[in-house]
Structure 1
Amino acid sequence: MGKQTLLPTLLITLFFLAPSAWAGDCSITVDSDDAMSFDTDEIVIDQSCDVIELTLTHSGDLGIEAMGHNIVFTRAEDLEALAQDAMEASDDDYVPAGDERVIAATDLIGGGESTTLELDPSLFEEDGDYRFFCSFPGHWGAMQGEVVIR
């Protein structure tokens, strides 16, 4: 195969093997730690994705009982009230079961653990105002951020 046919063949192969290269970022990782923080204050929801794979990691050492973390998605106007109500939902990992204000939530994890959530981008309206936060008691004030819809 000559040089003249090698490049087009390579490009065609790449086109068919890596279609996600032209899609948005459909895989997101957010880290949390023992200092009660996320490593980002913004999560981008790309509407071109069919599903977004969101992985939450906990790089700390403290267990789930002392320093559990999760990510809960909600509308901006619901964040504070939902965070307050979540403190009473200890049997449900601090995410009130059946609460319509909860758009999606990861599992609660402790130090050294991770969890992955398959997130449907269609749950977020393009012009909506959304936030994410950790619903473990006392964490939401420091552990929250903006959801950007693209």
Structure 2
Amino acid sequence: MKNFRINILGVVALGLLSLTSCKDDKKVEGEDTIVVTEDVVTPAEMGTIEVTLNSDDAMKFDTSEIKVKEGQTVILTLNHTGKLPEAAMGHNFVLLKQGVVMADFATAAIAAKDNEYIPNDGKDVIAHTETIGGGESTKITFTAPAKGTYDFLCTFPGHYSMMNGKFIVE
């Protein structure tokens, strides 16, 4: 019975040792205990995510949902895969702050042609690209906001009803 108890204790100890040795955590050793501490990753350490969003002459984005992590650096590339010029079928990407009513913003954007269709000096916007035409691309870099769900849209007149989506920050 004594050998059986020693073997069980050995298996349990070996199992615990393998669990703690597989982790990439910091270990703080005391006399009789080992304390495993988790490394904390701050939002600034989340790295960078690259997102490509394609648009076309049929007034469509190729995705209606973008997911990122809070605090991540987002590099967003907007491609216009169509052929029509900016004056006829311009597209942009606009990420709205929470609580901004998309329809109201898009209506106000119609009068903001000289400001890339961004009304109110951009006070309701987290990030936006310039407006581009067929065959063009543009890129922006910004920091993902606080956790939550945000709206994105194209603010070229008449486009927002078909060209919009959710920007989800986890």
- Please give the range of the TM-score, normalised by the shorter of the 2 chains: 0.7 to 0.9
2-structure distance, mates of 1:74, 1:52? 15
SS at match of 1:129: strand
CA RMSD of aligned residues (A): 1.8
Please report the TM-score for the alignment, with normalisation by the length of structure 1: 0.77
Indicate yes or no: 2:128 matched with 1:105.
yes
**Structure with greater proportional strand content:** 2
Q: Do the aligned partners of 2:48 and 2:75 also contact (CA within 8 Å) in 1?
A: no
- Which of 91, 104, 107 is matched with 1:81 structurally? 104
Instruction: Give CA-to-partner distance per residue, 1:90-129, whole Å, 9 cap, x none.
Output: 11111125231111101100000000000111xx221x33
In terms of Rg, which structure is larger? 2
From 56, 62, 65, the counterpart of 1:42? 65
What aligned pairs does 1:61-76 form with structure 2 within 5 A after superposition?
A: 61-75=83-97
Q: Which moved more, 1:131-140 or 1:38-47?
A: 38-47
SS of structure 1 residue aligned to 2:122:
coil
Letter in 2 for 1:147: F
Higher RCO structure, 1 or 2 (CA under 8 Å, sep 6+): 1
Question: Percent same amino acid among aligned pairs?
Answer: 41
Partners of 1:46 and 1:129 lie apart in 2 by 11
How many residues get paired? 125
Residue number in structure 1 paired with 2:153: 133
Question: Relative to structure 1, is the Cα distance of residues 24 and 99 closer, same or farther in structure 2, using a 3 angstrom cutoff?
Answer: closer
Query: What secondary structure sits across from 2:132 in the alignment?
Result: coil
* Contact 1:56/1:71 (<8 A) preserved: yes
Q: Which runs of 5+ in 2 are unaligned?
A: 1-45
TM-score (norm 2): 0.68
Instruction: After superposition, give the CA deviation of every residue in 1:1-43 in whole Å (9 maximum; x if it has no partner).
Output: xxxxxxxxxxxxxxxxxxxxxx566100000000000000011
What residue in structure 2 maps to residue 28 of structure 1? Answer: 51
Q: Distance in 2 between matches of 1:77 and 1:48?
A: 20
Q: Which runs of 4+ in 1 moved over 6 A?
A: none
Counterpart of 2:165?
A: 145
